[in-house]
């Protein structure tokens, strides 16, 4: 009876917080859009494209059968001050679904594509228009002029290949603000093409220039200029960021997992995307079940003092004195919770090791039951199995040990029975040893190893005090937020190294024995 009423209270609370969170988020988004170029905390969102938006159903992992090793499992209740992890993920997916489709991103891509097409077709137009419009007055094209045709053709081909290599890529992320360098390049190309057209229109079309060689040389100069702009694009977009200038420390706020990276000159939003790419394969997966101190340790930490104030209003002026006395008394009381924590940790460690030993033995034994069929052997076709059947055949003997181990290390949400079977089939197909099969379960791997739909988050929020298009500087700190944890990034400049030289003559290496003689007299 008690638990029923409590549970209904939780669902009301989570629903309430979900709707209020939605409203708060919408207000934040509008506020950040209207605030343009002002200082202060900026909260903008980065959205990784490419994957379809999820529906609610795929996040519900409860329908998964966790009971494949034992008969019953009991779902323990949540504590008073937190909602369960499944509720959190449900709220988050709701928020992600409500993001409107990003038209500005597609607009940018379309503008770039038209500009590229225009600049590519312009030299061809320059070459083709005079013969079309005033063929009779045009001087015939001599040898040098025809040689320039070949040069135009090859340069255009090189430009095409270079643009394909550099620009035609699946975009990695949608950035919150405009990508400054790319916009700069597009403006430059636009100005270049427009100025060339202006000149062409006024001096060649209007004046009906008769020397075709001059026109061809003009077209060649445009292609050269476009190739140089492409070189500039390579340098600005790809090369400048390669030489390391800053060291970044990325710390996950919930459990302190940290890494150091070296980057070159980039703007803050591009650095954020780069860090997210590294995060997915460097950081161990975020496991909220591993965060809290065991309850037995924390429960003892309530303060045992209650202060009752009897009397009139003149007792209020010594209320601060009373609270200070309570704090001092609580501090003087001997706190033994560290002791319990230590023993709890040691016990847990021992339990994990025992389960792990059982698991390793069970898997080793299971793998001895099957072997690969050699070509020469003749076997009854009923006995021959494909990898999936072989996996299913040996899975039963290790299932219980596996499930117990995953439960002890709190990893069971990450591995469903189906995923374990698939991995087992994979290992059997590629002739892996039991140790290789277990590598995935004995250590928490990076996030990208686990099922994409559940753990690969697409929506990240970049929180920064500096404008996100400004470049990295020494001492900048910014946050990459998810709904349940955030990555804190701090920047430090790579020091300037003063390298000096010392010449060592190879013949100068000489040694003597250490003497400790004893003489009798």
Partner 1 sequence: MLLQGHQLRDGCVQPGQQRVEIHKLRQGENLILGFSIGGGIDQDPSQNPFSEDKTDKGIYVTRVSEGGPAEIAGLQIGDKIMQVNGWDMTMVTHDQARKRLTKRSEEVVRLLVTRQSLQKAVQQSMLS
Residues that bind partner 1 (CB under 8 A): 514-521
Of 375 and 518, CB closest to partner 1: 518
Cβ(215)–Cβ(130) below 8 Å? yes
CA 319 – CA 327 distance, rounded (Å) = 12
Of 314 and 516, CB closest to partner 1: 516
Say whether 284 sits in a helix, a strand or coil: strand
CB of 511 to partner 1, least distance (A): 13
Nearest to 460 by CA among 22, 109, 96: 96
Say whether 477 sits in a helix, a strand or coil: strand
CB of 512 to partner 1, least distance (A): 10
CB of 362 to partner 1, least distance (A): 57
CA 33 – CA 27 distance, rounded (Å) = 10
CB of 508 to partner 1, least distance (A): 22
CA 162 – CA 231 distance, rounded (Å) = 9
Of 317 and 516, CB closest to partner 1: 516
Instruction: Name the token pair of 476.
Output: 């900048």
CB of 510 to partner 1, least distance (A): 17
Burial 272-293 (b: 16+ CB within 10 A, else e): bbbbbeebeeebebbbbeeeee
Say whether 493 sits in a helix, a strand or coil: strand
Mention every residue, 6+ apart, whose C-beta is less than 8 A from residue 142: 213
Of 501 and 518, CB closest to partner 1: 518
CB of 367 to partner 1, least distance (A): 57
CB of 518 to partner 1, least distance (A): 5
CA 172 – CA 260 distance, rounded (Å) = 22
Of 1 and 513, CB closest to partner 1: 513
Of 74 and 515, CB closest to partner 1: 515
Of 314 and 519, CB closest to partner 1: 519
Longest dimension (CA), the chain: 123
Which runs of consecutive H residues, i.e. helices, occur in 201-267?
212-234
Burial of residue 364 (CB within 10 Å: 0-12, 13-18, 19+) is: middle
Of 371 and 514, CB closest to partner 1: 514
CB of 323 to partner 1, least distance (A): 53
CB of 500 to partner 1, least distance (A): 32
CA 48 – CA 46 distance, rounded (Å) = 7
Cβ(119)–Cβ(193) below 8 Å? yes
Of 104 and 520, CB closest to partner 1: 520
CB of 509 to partner 1, least distance (A): 20
CA 245 – CA 225 distance, rounded (Å) = 31
Q: What is the CA radius of gyration of the chain?
A: 34
* β-sheet with 258-263: strand ranges across: 42-47, 459-464, 477-481, 486-493, 246-252, 258-263
Of 71 and 517, CB closest to partner 1: 517
């Amino acid at each position: 009876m008690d638990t029923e009423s409590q549970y209904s209270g939780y669902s009301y609370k989570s629903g309430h917080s979900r709707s209020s969170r939605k409203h708060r988020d919408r207000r934040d988004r509008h506020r950040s859009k209207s605030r343009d170029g002002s200082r202060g905390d900026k909260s903008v969102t980065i959205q990784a494209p490419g994957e379809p938006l999820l529906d609610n159903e795929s996040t519900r992992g409860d329908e998964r059968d966790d009971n494949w090793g034992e008969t019953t499992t009991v779902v323990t209740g949540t504590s008073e001050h937190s909602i369960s992890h499944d509720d959190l993920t449900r709220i988050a997916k709701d928020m992600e679904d409500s993001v409107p489709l990003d038209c500005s991103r597609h607009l940018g891509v379309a503008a770039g594509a038209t500009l590229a097409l225009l600049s590519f077709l312009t030299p061809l137009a320059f070459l083709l228009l005079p013969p079309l419009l005033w063929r009779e007055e045009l001087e015939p094209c001599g040898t040098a002029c025809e040689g320039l045709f070949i040069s135009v053709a090859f340069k255009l081909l090189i430009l095409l290949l270079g643009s394909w290599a550099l620009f035609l890529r699946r975009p990695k992320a949608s950035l919150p603000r405009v990508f400054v360098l790319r916009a700069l390049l597009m403006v430059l190309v636009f100005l270049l093409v427009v100025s060339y057209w202006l000149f062409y229109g006024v001096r060649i079309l209007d004046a009906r220039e008769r020397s075709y060689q001059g026109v061809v040389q003009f077209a060649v100069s445009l292609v050269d200029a476009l190739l140089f702009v492409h070189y500039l694009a390579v340098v600005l977009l790809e090369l400048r960021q390669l030489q390391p200038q800053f060291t970044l420390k990325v710390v996950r706020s919930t459990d302190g997992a940290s890494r150091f990276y070296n980057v070159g000159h980039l703007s803050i939003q591009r650095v954020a995307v780069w860090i997210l790419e590294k995060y997915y394969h460097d950081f161990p997966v975020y496991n909220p079940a591993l965060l809290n101190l065991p309850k037995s340790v924390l429960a003892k930490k309530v303060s045992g003092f209650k202060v009752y104030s009897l009397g009139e209003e003149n007792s209020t002026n010594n209320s601060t004195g009373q609270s200070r006395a309570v704090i001092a008394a609580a501090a003087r009381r001997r706190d033994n919770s560290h002791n319990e924590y230590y023993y709890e940790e040691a016990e847990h460690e021992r339990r994990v090791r025992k389960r792990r030993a059982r698991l390793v033995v069970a898997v080793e034994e299971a793998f001895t039951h099957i072997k690969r069929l050699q070509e020469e052997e003749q076997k009854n076709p009923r006995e021959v199995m494909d990898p999936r059947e072989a996996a299913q055949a040996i899975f039963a003997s290790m299932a219980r040990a596996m499930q117990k181990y995953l439960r002890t290390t709190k990893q069971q949400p990450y591995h469903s029975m189906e995923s374990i079977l698939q991995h087992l089939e994979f290992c059997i197909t590629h002739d892996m040893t039991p140790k290789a099969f277990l590598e995935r379960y004995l250590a928490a791997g990076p996030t990208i190893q686990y099922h994409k739909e559940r753990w690969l988050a697409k929506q990240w929020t970049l929180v920064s005090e500096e404008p996100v298009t400004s470049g990295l500087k020494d001492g900048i700190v910014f946050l990459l937020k998810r709904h349940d944890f955030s990555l804190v990034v701090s920047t430090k400049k790579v020091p300037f190294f003063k390298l000096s030289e010392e010449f060592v003559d190879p013949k100068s290496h000489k040694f003597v024995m250490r003497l400790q003689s004893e003489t009798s007299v």
